[in-house]
A and B are shown apart, each in its own frame.
Chain A
Amino acid sequence: MQQLVTKHKYYYYKTIKGLGLLLGGLLCGVTLLGVLHGYATATEIYGISEKSLGLYKGSGLLFEWRVKEARELVDRLNRESPNDPDVRGLEARVLFFEGRYAEARAVMERNRMTGSFPELVATTDDATRNMRTHRSDHFVISWADPRDEILVEPALEGLEKARVAVLRDLGFEPEAPVRVEIYPSVSQFTSVSTLTRKEVRTSGTIGLCKFNRLMIASPRATLHGYGWRDTLSHEYLHLAIYHLSRGRAPIWVHEGIAKYLEGSWRGAYGDLSPSSEALLSRRMSEGTLISLETMSPSVAKLESAEDTQLAFAEVATMMTFLVETKGLEALQALAEAIGDGRDDREALEAVWGDSFAAYDARWRSWVRTQPLGKGEYQILPLALADEAEESEDPSAIPDREAENFVRLGDLLRERGRVHAAAVEYQKAYEQSPSLAGVASRYIWGQMAIGRYQESVAASDAALMIYPELGVLWGRKGMALLELERYSEAMEALRALMEINPFHIPGRRALLVAARHAGETSEAQRQEWALSLLEKETAHPPL
């Protein structure tokens, strides 16, 4: 009997244990299923509504510029809660990211949404409402001013090449066509970009990648133009880095990679202008580099054009150094590591294989070994067309003696005394040949008195220092044209167009050179562009 009882007790406990396990398993399974099933079940457990979670998720997707997923989510939320104001708000944001500004605005107005974001949407809608659009396979370009149409073809060409390069170098390809907006003026650009005019002027930030699209101010909005195709490529790179890093990359990574690769569409990597090199060299020796923290949240917010240029030089060389030591793939790895959740230092350390401090030290040493320019080169700030003088020669002349001569030359030139002006410009050049404004004027002066060879030689010398200064290319081109060296002239003038495509005399010269060189298609292109530029309101078909 006792045994029977013991045996029964044994089986009893066993059964109980088994049942308990079964129940526990069932519970776990149910819970697991619930978790695997999705947030809905989890939210029911934790008391958060599905809608709230959806909105949260939607915002998160938008933050990462995962617009397609955000669209799917908001469509679902709309089906579930069609008239919910929060859902409508999310939808408005998605619409904005999709570039459907008018619809976004309408949704916001209907829902009486107020604040800075609705204002931005309204401003953007106003600025883009009358833009014309052209699509390629991967890009959608919009522009407002008819004259900016001349940028479209070259822009697309550059962007497509950039896309190929970025795919190759960073492994990124956008899911949908990328929107590119060309704003006709700095005012419009700043109104949609959250930058201030002062920031644009000081930092030279004339392009932006934000809200899943690329924005630039037309080169027409600046006095001397700028390397706008490189800028488009640069902004496209920001798009890529943003996606790769899921919006988490700090500014130095963004700018470093973008700066390093911005010329990749044309086969150039890690290009730095001589003035940037000299600046980096000098500031490094002075111990006044810009820290990575100071660069945040944006280089556009730095105090001066010099600081901005230095910041770019620093981060670009950091990437150059990284690539040289770890290969080009290190860039992608860095961005993705950040996208995976690591902070920037950790990510770099993971790629570099050592501490950040070690990397920094090695980089500095490496910079010191580089053959950087050491001269007193001038930083050329961005001159906005609507607030600067009409002269295309840079106005800032930091050397007083040279400035005086330049001023005298300008005064004589304004009064048609070109020979006299040339004399004064020569005096300035003898004083300070490495200053951009001096060199450009000297070159003009030499041309004015028919000394084209000297003009070309001086241009070459100046372009060694300031390859980004369009006026030098233009004058070189025209001097070469006078010397009947048409192919070289075309090369120089094409370089001018890369910087200032709205330079009408330069275009005319390019047209002449192309005709003389027998380059018919080029000549036709220039004829078309000139007809557009000179008519201003023409809308010839592409």
Chain B
Amino acid sequence: MDATHNFLDVSRESSKHAYFMKQALLMGEKALQANETPVGCVLVYDSQIVGTGMNDTNKSMNGTRHAEFIAIQEMLQSHPRSHLHSTDLYVTVEPCVMCASALRQYQIRAVYFGCGNERFGGTGSVLSLHSDYAIDLPYPVHGGLFRKEAIMLLRRFYIQENEKAPKPRPKKNRELNTSFEGDAESFDYM
């Protein structure tokens, strides 16, 4: 394989990742419109999107209805579970501890995420359930894809008052932060 050819492969590969992460961001945008914590994801099998999900905890009154679960449920309507071995997940925010374990149980092939999740992250931030000893095979994780876009979605959400919460806290004086100085980012995600 010559160098030019290799370069084309690499750029094709990265534009593929970019495309799918943009689709996940669109799902996050949809979640924001629906007053849910803006996390979106897509499942990709054989280069096709076979499941999409966005956080649904407010509408469903079920704290476990995270984007990953919704997407897997959609995929399983038309695919056998074993296809998840050859399926990749693109999700705007690092999967939480619950989803990180679920993805391992489903034996996902790989996970690509946007920004880390310092509060609940299960694939490196708080725990590393993708690689710890477990009865299922580990899976690789790649973070940082469209990280700023994923963070901006969350910031736009947290600047609003969460009227669904039992005691909404006034956030009138908050301004949308658009700087990315310093890498540490933490949200009261969920």
Bind each other: no
B residues contacting A by CB (< 8 A) are none
